[in-house]
Amino acid sequence: MSSPYADDHSASSSPTAVSTFAAAPKPRRSIRSRFAGIATIAAVTAILSGFAAPGVATAASPTSTPPAAAATELAATEPVDLTESDVNAWLDGLLPAALANAGIAGAAVSVVHDGEILTSRGFGLADRGTRGSVQPVAEAEQRDAQPVDPDETLFRVGSVSKVFTATAVMQLVERGELDLDTDVTEYLDFDLPLAFDTPVTLRHLLSHTAGFEERIAGILGYGEGVESLHDALATDPPEQVYEPGTVPAYSNYGNALAGYIVERQSGMPFADYVEAHVLEPAGMDSSQFAQPLPEELNERMSKGYAGGSDVPTPFEMVPVAPAGALAATATDMARFMLAQLGDGPQLLEPETLKEMHAPALDEDSLGTLAVGPRMALGFFDESRNGTAIIGHGGDTNVFHSHLQLYPEEGTGIFLSLNSSGRGELDDLTIRESVMTGFAERYFPGEKADAPVSHTAKAHAALAAGSYDQSRAARSTFVAAFSLTSPTEITARNDGTILVSPAPLSLSPAVYEEIAPWLWQEVGGDRQLSMRAEDGRVRTIVYDSAFSLLRVDTAHNPAIALPVLLGSATVLLLAVLIWPIAALVRRHYRATGAVTVRPDRTTRISRLLTRLAAASALVALAGWIQAVTQIMELQDMSFLVLRGFQALQVLGVLGVIPAAIVVTRGIRSRIGWMRVTGWILVLAALVGVAWFALTFQLIAPSVSY
């Protein structure tokens, strides 16, 4: 899920991507990262929704040989035998110290191989308890600390839930009750806000290419229950901003819509359908999508801890349940992995599993983006070094999980953490260490030198520029979030590109082209695929369902932020200086000094200009507060947001009286210093008005 659902790998594919059920969608929580897909790293983007970065990609499918392998001599690294004793020893050497160093309370891990549950382990605490707490606790509320039991302790798996939703969809497809390529409006009982003639299909929903913008409000909450899935989806749905099938843009809404179609077509509530047709057949007796959990399961639910705190958070509610509401034990997740690998109870026919694990879209939809890792039906391509790996990560505010399957090896691994840790990226670092370490130890694959692409310099020049996340809001004030996470690509003389910051990272990285439009991190495994239109690269995919879009001049942070900051500074100085100037004028009048009193029109225009300047400043302060609160996944009153808009409109209208003041000042020859001051105020009001219009601060909708 990604945070807010986060994946919300929250939503992402590799352990390094953040899923926010996402996400950034992570710089501060996976959720916020990916959600904010929006805000800090790209919100890593992250957080969160997903995850680690793909390894050597597959141009055709998760199981195909990567382009790098096709053109170079490969040197294999000797793998370690995957046995119960070895994997347990490896986990014991890695996780306890990592959890302690990060301040993470507990973790659960399960590994399957060759049709068996190889291991299912619990580490640390499911409940830190209250005895011995530095905070005073009433005797009736005293609790002993409880260790994680992999068979009994439930974790929220965030956006990993999406794989279960996809499985449910594929069951109905297999039975002929749904079709992957039929217009989904035929299955719905409410209207979608569609902006393109290309129909949205289940294939698009399961591969995050339906084109919906990001929506944060209502993604995660606390309370006694949640509204119906229908109401959560039909009430104020996000706008469609990309043509279906063309732009990977992680979407909790899209996945939840697929879950609602399961509900509609089966005639059963989504949670009931999944329990009866996925969880129970797989032997997952302790797992449920129900919210709140039944009492007997709620007692086994791990506590969740934020930011190194010893105080657990309340149980997190996910209104769009298919995107991130599952609670499960590590052992139950092992049973699901076996079923997905075709080695456990049969949830899907072998041919259906094969289709589910293969890339969902090809070059007919994606163009040259298809040369890189692509979404399967519910799974990210997380292949490494020629080894086919599919997976999904997930985050809530406090739970962080990742699942990976090795279809050709009959292997799977699942990890879940019940805390975010003290640092910004602690949980992400641990997940990546486990997932990457597991792959390198047991399935190192074939290390390949990157081949030389003869189009590198030309394509690098086309790629140079500024980009922001595709997982973003475009039609409301949340569009301004994109200014917090710009990505700059610089073409270098040797044909490589410098990406700052690199996707799923806080640092820049250099990429080299290893095949036309496919770039690989120098010294790493992460890949970028690009698509050019009208002589420039417009879209860059960096993690199956996460991509970057070139920003136009108006939306470029290098232009928008200086305009905004410069304008706000001028208005603030003016608001501070005006009262002083009024006192000075009053002093001169009192001493009998000669002063020129402006006419009534000028006086009124000056007053309106001052009110507009103050209104614009208060509105900007309000938007900053709103963004901060929303990024913390706290609800903002629509009435308050409308109030900010009203103030913003007053600031925009203030351009008119400011222009009158400047015009009359020039005509009346009040002095070049005073005229210059009023010209600066007029320019500042124009700058703020331009920003407000460009970034939808006065858009008809205040949804977020």
Least confident of 164-178, 397-411, 473-487: 473-487
Please report which confidence band the pLDDT of residue 51 belongs to, taking 50, 70 and 90 as the band edges: very low
Say yes or no: 584 and 536 in one domain: no
pLDDT tens column, 152-181: 999 999 999 999 999 999 999 999 999 999
Please report which confidence band the pLDDT of residue 19 belongs to, taking 50, 70 and 90 as the band edges: very low
The answer to whether the beta carbons of residues 544 and 248 sit under 8 Å apart is yes
Which among 333, 417, 363, 373 is positioned nearest to 14, based on CA atoms?
373
Q: Is 686 among the domain residues? A: yes
**What average pLDDT does the chain have?**
86
pLDDT tens column, 332-343: 999 999 999 999
Please report which confidence band the pLDDT of residue 296 belongs to, taking 50, 70 and 90 as the band edges: very high
Mean pLDDT (whole number) for 195-213: 97
> Is pLDDT at 652 greater than 80 in this prediction?
yes
Q: Is 700 among the domain residues? A: no
| Distance between CA atoms of residues 374 and 380, nearest Å | 7
Output DSSP code: residue 24.
Answer: B
Can you give the pLDDT at residue 14?
41
- Range among 27-41, 300-314, 379-393, 477-491 with highest mean pLDDT value: 379-393
Out of 489, 515, 550, pick the residue that ends a domain: 550
Mean pLDDT (whole number) for 356-371: 97
Q: Are strands 497-500 and 509-515 parallel, antiparallel or unpaired?
A: antiparallel
Q: Is 392 among the domain residues? A: yes
Can you give the pLDDT at residue 592?
56
Can you give the pLDDT at residue 37?
36
Least confident of 148-162, 454-468, 507-521, 565-579: 565-579
Say yes or no: 311 and 208 in one domain: yes
Beta strands in 341-438 (DSSP E): 380-381, 390-395, 400-406, 411-417
Say yes or no: 388 and 462 in one domain: no
- CB atoms < 10 A from the CB of 238, how many? 25
Mean pLDDT (whole number) for 8-27: 40
Q: Is 397 among the domain residues? A: yes
Say yes or no: 532 and 668 in one domain: no
Please report which confidence band the pLDDT of residue 52 belongs to, taking 50, 70 and 90 as the band edges: very low
Say yes or no: 545 and 575 in one domain: no
The half-sphere exposure of 206 on its side-chain side, counting CA atoms within 13 A, is 31
Range of the domain at 545: 456-550
Can you give the pLDDT at residue 13?
37
Say yes or no: 673 and 623 in one domain: yes
The answer to whether the beta carbons of residues 261 and 184 sit under 8 Å apart is yes
Please report which confidence band the pLDDT of residue 138 belongs to, taking 50, 70 and 90 as the band edges: low
pLDDT tens column, 212-260: 998 887 778 887 888 899 999 999 899 999 999 999 999 999 999 999 9
The answer to whether the beta carbons of residues 409 and 418 sit under 8 Å apart is no
| Distance between CA atoms of residues 595 and 575, nearest Å | 22
Can you give the pLDDT at residue 26?
35
> Is pLDDT at 392 greater than 70 in this prediction?
yes
> Is pLDDT at 141 greater than 70 in this prediction?
no
Out of 448, 474, 508, pick the residue that ends a domain: 448
Say yes or no: 112 and 82 in one domain: yes
Say yes or no: 290 and 206 in one domain: yes
Mean pLDDT (whole number) for 19-29: 38
| Distance between CA atoms of residues 300 and 469, nearest Å | 38
Can you give the pLDDT at residue 589?
58
The answer to whether the beta carbons of residues 249 and 208 sit under 8 Å apart is yes
Q: Is 208 among the domain residues? A: yes
Helices (H) and strands (E) in the chain, counts: 20, 19
Say yes or no: 30 and 173 in one domain: yes
- CB atoms < 10 A from the CB of 293, how many? 18
Say yes or no: 96 and 233 in one domain: yes
Please report which confidence band the pLDDT of residue 656 belongs to, taking 50, 70 and 90 as the band edges: very high
Can you give the pLDDT at residue 540?
98
Say yes or no: 443 and 477 in one domain: no
Q: Model's pTM, two decimal places?
A: 0.85
Angle at 43 between CA 259 and CA 481, to 5 degrees: 95
Q: Is 377 among the domain residues? A: yes
The answer to whether the beta carbons of residues 654 and 613 sit under 8 Å apart is yes
Please report which confidence band the pLDDT of residue 74 belongs to, taking 50, 70 and 90 as the band edges: very low
The answer to whether the beta carbons of residues 215 and 244 sit under 8 Å apart is no
Q: DSSP assignment of 534-577, as one string?
A: TTEEEEEESSSS-EEEE--TTT-HHHHHHHHHHHHHHHHHHHHH
Q: How much of the chain exceeds pLDDT 70, in percent?
A: 85
- Give the residue with greater pLDDT, 2 vs 402: 402
Can you give the pLDDT at residue 424?
82
> Is pLDDT at 43 greater than 80 in this prediction?
no
Least confident of 86-100, 362-376, 415-429: 415-429
Mean pLDDT (whole number) for 106-111: 98
Can you give the pLDDT at residue 640?
93
| Sequence-distant (≥ 6) Cβ neighbours of residue 663 within 8 angstroms | none
The answer to whether the beta carbons of residues 28 and 424 sit under 8 Å apart is yes
Say yes or no: 593 and 518 in one domain: no
Q: Is 663 among the domain residues? A: yes
> Is pLDDT at 476 greater than 80 in this prediction?
yes
pLDDT tens column, 584-597: 666 555 565 545 56
Q: Token pair of 308, please?
A: 């190194």
Q: Is 699 among the domain residues? A: no
Which among 240, 245, 215, 332 is positioned nearest to 630, based on CA atoms?
215
Please report which confidence band the pLDDT of residue 317 belongs to, taking 50, 70 and 90 as the band edges: very high
How many domains are contained in the chain? 3
Please report which confidence band the pLDDT of residue 206 belongs to, taking 50, 70 and 90 as the band edges: very high
Please report which confidence band the pLDDT of residue 281 belongs to, taking 50, 70 and 90 as the band edges: very high
Q: Could you give the 3-state DSSP secondary structure of residue 43?
A: coil
Beta bridge partners of 511: 497, 521
Can you give the pLDDT at residue 30?
36
| Sequence-distant (≥ 6) Cβ neighbours of residue 587 within 8 angstroms | none
> Is pLDDT at 136 greater than 80 in this prediction?
no
| Sequence-distant (≥ 6) Cβ neighbours of residue 273 within 8 angstroms | 168, 262, 263, 266
Least confident of 12-16, 18-22, 543-547, 551-555: 12-16
Q: DSSP assignment of 421-447, as one string?
A: -SSTTHHHHHHHHHHHHHHHHH---EE
Q: Token pair of 56, please?
A: 């050597």
pLDDT tens column, 77-102: 688 999 999 999 999 999 999 999 99
Report the CATH number that the domain containing residue 433 is assigned in CATH. 3.40.710.10
Out of 550, 565, 598, pick the residue that ends a domain: 550
